Amino acid sequence: MTDMYDDPKVFEGKLNAYQHEDRGVERGRAKDPVAFLQSVEQRARERQVAYETVKLLRQRVIHCYRKEGVNHYEKCKKEAQDLYNVISQKDLGQLQPNQTS
């Protein structure tokens, strides 16, 4: 069982961009419907991961503020900066597809 004071686990790997499939020009149908649906589903998953990342970072900031009390300006600077860096990126820093057009 993990405790709230355990060191957080950090992912050290590198994620690759996923393939993007556009709709075709003929009546709005995709050239490859299966690849198009997989692309849409992957984008939704990436968006959800980005949202959850923001939630976790926000929880870290809140926890630090509550733990440190009046000293949170000095002690929680790194947590607040991490949250700011993520929320200031386009699409919350979510992984973007490779454009194959």
Secondary structure (H, E, C), 2-65: CCCCCCCCCCCCCCCCCEECCECCCCCCECCHHHHHHHHHHHHHHHHHHHHHHHHHHHHHHHHH
The reported pTM is 0.69
The SS3 of residue 19 is strand
Q: What's the domain range around 34?
A: 29-93
Domain count, the chain: 1
Could you say which residues of the chain have pLDDT below 50?
Answer: 101
The pLDDT, as a whole number, for residue 7 is 76
What pLDDT is recorded for position 70? 92
Residue 99 in domain:
no
38 domain residue, yes or no? yes
pLDDT for 90 equals 84
Task: Please report the pLDDT score of residue 93 as a whole number.
Answer: 76
Q: Which residues contact 79 (CB under 8 A, 6 or more apart)?
A: 57, 60, 61, 64
